[in-house]
Each structure stands twice: as C-alpha cells, then as structure tokens.
Amino acid sequence: MNKVTFLGEEVVLAGNFPSKGEQLVTPELCTLSLNPLTISDVDSKYKLIYLFPSIDTPVCAATTKSLAELAQLNLKDVSVYTVSADLPFALARYNEASEIANVEHLSVFKDAAALNAFGVEIKDHALTGLASRAVILLDSENKVIHSELVSEITEAPNFNLVVEAIQG
C-alpha cells in the first residue's frame, strides 16, 4: 500500500504500484468508442501509461497536452495511453477540443478495480475511486522500464525521465 498527498494531506492508495523490472499485465480498459482494450496485449516497442484523477482538472489537462507534444517530438515507437476514471465521453470532448491525435485515452469506468491493478486507486478520501497521478513505461514484453508515482497528486510527473529511459 502506497501513500501520496493531495494538497499536503495524506492519501492512501490501494494495490501495489509496479516497480522497474516487474512484469505488468494490465487490466481491460475502455476506449473512447466504448470498446475494450488491454494495453499489455498491444504490440508496440514501448507502451507509456499516464494515470491521473480527471481530465477536467487543469493539471491533468495541461500535463496530457504536454505529454502529447512530447510524444510527437521525442517518443518514436511508443504507444501513449492516458488512463483515468473519466467517462469516455468527457475524454473524447477533451481530445477534440485539444486536437490531440497521438495519445489514446482510456477509461476505467466499466471496471473501477482496474486502478487497483495499477496500484493508484485512491481510498478513504474525498477523491476515492479516482487515480493518483503516475507514469508507467513498459517495453515490448510488458516489463516495467520506468515508473513514477507522483508524491503530490496536484503536481505533474517528470516526463523527461521517460524520455531518458527510452533513450537508454
């Protein structure tokens, strides 16, 4: 069980956040078109998973846009996914408004326990049921090559560390 903070207040997370070197089998998630997708089943050299509370918060929206820009410039051979508890309709609205084309937004709304599988499910807090902010980078064999559980939910992850992990 991990702990992070939200505006300085301690928040307990359910599940075990994956560490570098671990094999990760991801849960089934929901695409914008309401179809199931399991990231670990995707054939890609790298899979970057960005988990966050809600696209409707300024930090989540801004960091998602930053991630999309970074992916366009520096993340070749990387499939980029965002995962949140948002409804696919909210994610689609954001996607259209921000004109993001190189990131696939996924929702856990059909299976709230999916956040537990990533070790980021917020428990016993005003934000219960949402994801804590985190980044997980998988190789083609679904081995974790970088993971960051952001210690303060309102802060952005360090995407530069993702680029460094890919570049070796």
Burial (CB count within 10 angstroms: exposed 0-12, middle 13-18, buried 19+), residue 134: buried
User: Which of 68, 41, 63 minimizes the C-alpha distance to 52?
Assistant: 63
Residues 6 or more apart whose Cβ sits within 8 Å of residue 124: 12
User: Which of 19, 159, 32 minimizes the C-alpha distance to 84?
Assistant: 32
Q: What residues are labeled active site?
A: 60
Burial profile 105-123: b = 16 or more Cβ within 10 angstroms, e = fewer? bbbbbeeeebbbbbbbbbe
Q: What distance lies between CA 9 and its chain's CA centroid? A: 22
DSSP string, 113-135: THHHHHT-EEESSTTTTSBPPEE
